[in-house]
Structure 1
């Protein structure tokens, strides 16, 4: 019988200090979500999240911002998509390194 805690791979911590965490969340918000994919790419390299997470963020953020600026934005949909994605990315960045415990 093997213990999952003994045989588990070592997972690196995403943030070293609280200031580091606050800096990344502020960077995601100030850049309007455009720097969320690099943050989650770093998290994927540290094996905090899967590689699908930065790919999805990049597809949503760059997939809406670039065509919206090239083709035009007649109904103003790009701002809404970026605002919603920025909020989701900021919350996701803030909870990346928390250890969820049952009963909380």
Structure 2
């Protein structure tokens, strides 16, 4: 998936720094390269963007949105870090 180790570090840091908001684009690129299924970026997008919109509509009295986004960000960062490092173009 990544051409160099630096690319992996940049993507993992970007996912963490954006609090998971950049996870769906990262996994969309991985899906286009056939490293993961196209369902993966869709699931991340639904969880991340859907929880933010639901918190706006339903309210967020106990800060449940922060917990959901934090857990999703951690899972996405770990998932981004363990993506196929032996990926070759045209695979």
TM-score by length of 2: 0.89
Q: How does 1:48-87 map to 2 (within 5 A)?
A: 48-87=35-74
Q: Aligned equivalents of 1:26 and 1:69: distance in 2?
A: 27
* Structure 2 residue 83 is the aligned partner of structure 1 residue 93: no
Q: Aligned equivalents of 2:84 and 2:13: distance in 1?
A: 16
State the superposition RMSD in angstroms.
1.1
Which 4+ stretches in 1 moved above 4 angstroms?
none
Task: From the two aligned structures, give the one with the greater helix fraction.
Answer: 2
Q: Aligned equivalents of 1:98 and 1:46: distance in 2?
A: 13
* Structure 2 residue 18 is the aligned partner of structure 1 residue 31: yes
1:43-77: CA deviations, max 9, x gaps?
A: 00000000010010001001101221343211110
Tell me if the contact between 2:2 and 2:85 (Cα under 8 Å) persists in the aligned partners: no
Q: Which has the larger radius of gyration?
A: 1
Structure 2 residue ranges without an equivalent (≥5): 87-91
Give the 3-state SS of the residue equivalent to 1:50 in structure 2: coil
1:13-46: CA deviations, max 9, x gaps?
A: x101010000000000000001100000000000
* Structure 2 residue 39 is the aligned partner of structure 1 residue 47: no
Q: Aligned equivalents of 2:56 and 2:11: distance in 1?
A: 26
